[in-house]
Amino acid sequence: MKANISLNQRQSEFLRDLLHTIHPEHIIDFLVDNDILDDEDTKNLLKQLEIMDPEYYFGVKNAG
């Protein structure tokens, strides 16, 4: 089942700040690897949270 993620500004800022205190790539990897997010959802979430450039994320993930 895919997650439909839509955050308001306050939630987005909170989650972005929280993810900056840990390793956001681990959280995103978990969501992607467990089919919770598809590629488009992942790109949208990365852009919304401003935690990592989507092109960088997919470049590293696809290279590994």
pLDDT tens string 5-53? 777 888 878 877 777 676 767 777 787 788 877 878 877 777 776 666 7
- Please give the structure tokens belonging to residue 11: 């939630």
Give me the residue label for tokens 């987005």. 12
Q: Quick check: pTM over 0.95?
A: no
Residue corresponding to tokens 């909170």: 14
Give yes or no for a contact between 23 and 57, defined as CB atoms under 8 angstroms apart.
no
Whole-Å CA distances, 63 to 13, 15, 59: 30, 27, 6
Using alpha carbons, list the distances in angstroms from residue 3 to 21, 36, 49, 56, 59: 23, 6, 16, 22, 23
